[in-house]
Amino acid sequence: MTDQPETAQPDTGQPGFAPVRQVDRARFAALAPDERYAQMLLGHDSGARHCSVAYIQTPPGGGSPEGLHTHEGDQIFFVLQGTMSIEVDGTEHSVEAGNLIVFPAGVPHRNWNGGTEPTVHLAVNAPLPDPAQPFARRVGPASG
């Protein structure tokens, strides 16, 4: 059985809570290969209390706009498509689709797409980033 977002409403003590969320899949399908795109799937606006989840497509040559940076919380990427390049502690890694990347809180890192096809990944941030604070703190030169 596939739940529809409007029918899956258990009693969680949170008014309006829905465990099944509508995702703009048509927007994903319409992405051009050279387009950087991010859609917040779960965050402050959707009632999250402990983490955020975003769907991100990065075109060839694109990457962390901040360059080498840190976050207050842990950041986890699950690579869905393509190959993502990352740098952690001065070491570069090439990460293929189907693999998980973990950036612990406070560890400088950056990511980019050095390939010829778009990369797509899910980005999870925990704890939920404070919207009143900068999401990332640059610790190296900006990308570009």
- Residue count (the chain): 144
Task: Please give the residue range of the domain that contains residue 43.
Answer: 33-130
pTM score, two decimals? 0.79
Residues of the chain short of pLDDT 50, as ranges, are: 1-12
pLDDT score of 14: 59
Determine, yes or no, domain membership for 48.
yes
- Number of domains, the chain: 1
Give the pLDDT of residue 1: 44
* Within-domain flag for 56: yes
102 within domain boundaries: yes
For 80-94, how does the pLDDT look when each residue is reduced to its tens digit (9 = 90+)?
999 999 999 899 999
Q: What is the pLDDT of residue 87?
A: 96
Residue 62 within a domain: yes
Whether 18 is covered by a domain: the verdict is: no
CATH at 113: 2.60.120.10
User: What's the pLDDT at 9?
Assistant: 43
Q: How far apart are CA 110 and CA 129, in angstroms?
A: 18
Residue 8, pLDDT score: 43
Across 74-105, b (16+ Cβ under 10 Å) vs e yields bbbbebeebbbbbbbeeeeeebeeeeebebee
User: What are the pLDDT digits (tens) for 99-125?
Assistant: 999 999 999 999 999 999 999 999 999
Per-residue pLDDT, 143: 56
